[in-house]
Structure 1
Amino acid sequence: MSELRFSLADVAGVRLAVSPVNETVMSMWAVASPVYYAVHLPWIDRARVAMRRPEVADRVRPLAELVRPSSWLPDFLTPAPRPNVEMAEQLDQIAATPPDVVVRDLLATTPRRPLGPFGQALLADPRGLLPQLVDALRVWYDEAIAPDWPRIRALLDADVAYRAAQLAESGAGRFFEQLHPSLRWHGDRVVSDDPFERDFDLRGRGLALNPSVFTSRGVCWNLLEDSLPVGAYPVRAVGTLWEAAAPPPGDPLARVIGPGRAALLHLLDTAITTTDLARLTGMSAGNVSQHLAALHAAGLVGRSRQGRHVLYRNTDAAGVLLRASRGG
């Protein structure tokens, strides 16, 4: 069990953001242990095809060696994300990690499992070999994550918008208890039901939180005394990530407003972008935009901006229509 102690400044400093490098790193767990990530099997099949290519496998090996099942991650691999941060910025941040921090974070992983050959070499020469690890991250992102990043990002952005509204409406205590079943707010601290036994004072630095599609069994903490504390928590609605959407057979709503618009309404219980709606439905982005404009004009869909993205979500009126069409 871990405890994170908050001051008023820490409560005010809680923020939410999306981390491309976090998804890149943690996706390696899914490739290595697909039985625990069955929801991602469509993606895992594609990622394993990429990994079997020798030119990819050789360059990604340093990352695969450090991100092992049942092993702790070196914390410098998952830095705190800034709002709207891009992968290239996070790679630059990792590349600039001081050698003593690389060594410290590598040694922190060894109580559970010894380092492999690359880890040992990186421990001995962090300045010389860190670029090789950064290259592995870049290659794995380009090969395995980037093709699906619009879909993944849309789900993560929708979660950030949802959680930000929760924080504003409910306050920090209720927010953390809704974030994951393993968390509870107790006085001036968050108590996390985990095996790490940390007692950590945030010391006025706040806490960065990022949703993750590849974090499945709890909140993964990155708690260091000299950097912004971070928590990666499981994203909502991850089961919808790889689905192709269509209205249910015989859907009465589709007969009234058309199958395309009905398909969108069935997906918009969660806020989502035009790009991801196009991927999920198989429609062109132009067709999706036309349908959304009509649904918005009819008061069935609302929209909001989250950073660089516009998110769409059903209104209460759409919810009434959907419940009626589903027989609810």
Structure 2
Amino acid sequence: MSELRFTLTDVAGVRFGVSPANETVMSLWALAEPARYPVHLPWTDRARATLRRPEVAGRVRPLVELTLPRRWLPDFLTPAARPGVEMPEQLDQIAATPPDVVVRDLLATAPSRPLRPFGRALLADPAGLLPQLVEALRVWYDEAIAPDWPRMRALLDADVAYRAAQLAEGGTGKLFERLHPSLRWLGDRVVSDDPFERDFDLRGRGLALNPSVFTHQRVLWNLLEDSMPAGAYPVRAVGTLWERGPEPAGDALARVVGGGRAALLHLLDAATTTTDLARLTGLSAGNVSQHLAALHAAGLVVRSRAGRHVLYRNTEVGAALLRAARGG
């Protein structure tokens, strides 16, 4: 069990971000043990074929050796994400990791499993071999993550909007109690039911929270005395990530309300913003707004405001229509 102790400054410093570096690193867990990540099988099938290509396998091997299943990750590989951060910026941040931090983080993983050859070499020459690891991370992102990143990013951004609304409406306690079943809020601390046994004082630095597609069992903490505290938690609605959108020609609902509006109804089981709907469907924001206005006028969706965001969700009528179209 771990405990994270908060001051009032830390409570005010809880913030959200999306980390492409985290997703790139953690995706290799799903690739190595696909049976534990069945929801991602459409992706793992493609990613395995990518990793079998000789020109990819050799360049990615350093990263693969450091991300074996059931191994603790070196914390410098999963930096806390600021809002709007992109992969090139995170690669630069990782490349600038001081050698002593690389060594410290590698040694911290040793209790879980011994280091593989590249890990041992990196431990002996962190300054010389860190660029090779950063290149492996860049190649894997470009080859395996970037083609699906708009879809992943839309799901992650939608979760951020949802959690930010929870925080604004119910405060820190409500946020953590609903973030994951393993977490409890005790007024001035978060208690995490995990095997890590950490007792950590945030000391006014706040906490960066990153939803993750490839984190599925518990919240993973990045807690070091000299860096930004962070936690990666399982994203909501991950089961929708690889669903194909409804085909207008073959979908009964699409024939009634139109392909674009049917696509939106399929995505509005959870509250979602116009921006996220545009990313998920590939429609322009203007088209999404027009479709939502028509669905709202018909009583099929409802809208609510959460801070600066307007969220849309199916009404009971819209949900019933959707169930009928799905054969339920």
TM-score by length of 1: 0.90
Q: Distance in 2 between matches of 1:12 and 1:108?
A: 30
- 1:268–1:312: 8 Å Cα contact kept in structure 2? no
Equivalent residue letter for 2:23 = E
- Runs (5+) with no aligned partner, structure 2: none
Tell me if the contact between 1:215 and 1:234 (Cα under 8 Å) persists in the aligned partners: yes
C-alpha displacement of 1:262: 2.1
CA 1:50–1:82 in structure 2 vs 1: closer, same or farther (change >3 Å)?
Answer: same
CA distance 1:290–1:174, change in 2 (3 Å) = closer
1:274 correspondence with 2:278: yes
Distance 1:306 1:24, change over 3 A: farther
Shift of 1:290: 2.8
Contact 2:269/2:319, CA 8 A, preserved across alignment: no
Q: Offset at 1:273?
A: 3.2
Letter of the aligned partner of 1:141 in structure 2? Answer: Y
Shift of the 131–305 alpha-carbon distance from structure 1 to 2, 3 Å rule, reads farther
Deviates more, 1:250-259 or 1:151-160: 250-259
| Contact 2:76–2:105 (CA under 8 A) maintained in structure 1 | yes
**Does 1:103 pair with 2:103?**
yes
1:277 shift after superposition: 1.3
Give CA-to-partner distance per residue, 1:31-51, whole Å, 9 cap, x none. 011010000000000000110
Partner of 1:120: 120
Q: Is the 8 A contact 1:29 1:69 kept in 2?
A: yes
CA change 1:41–1:289 in 2 (3 A) is: farther
CA contact (8 A) 1:266 1:322 kept: no
Question: Contact conserved, 2:248 with 2:259, CA < 8 A, in 1?
Answer: no
Q: Distance in 1 between matches of 2:34 and 2:223?
A: 27
1:148 to 1:312, Cα distance in 2 relative to 1, 3 A = farther
Question: Which amino acid is the alignment partner of residue 136 of structure 2?
Answer: A
How far apart, CA to CA, are the structure 1 residues paired with 2:17 and 2:217?
20
1:249 CA drift (Å) = 12
Shift in Å, 1:252: 7.7
Shift of 1:250: 10
Amino acid at match of 1:104: R
Q: Which amino acid aligns with 1:184?
A: R
Structure 1: 4+ residue segments shifted above 6 A: 247-252, 303-307
AA in 1 matched with 2:280? D
Q: Mark the runs of 5 or more structure 1 residues left unpaired by the alignment.
A: 279-284
**Partner letter of residue 154 of structure 2?**
A
Quick check: 1:72–1:109 contact (8 Å CA) kept in 2? yes
> For the residues of structure 1 that align with 2:45 and 2:250, how far apart are their CA atoms?
32
The question of whether the paired residues in 2 share the 8 Å contact of 1:269 and 1:313 is answered with no
Partner of 1:165: 165
CA RMSD of aligned residues (A): 2.5
Counterpart AA for 2:63: L
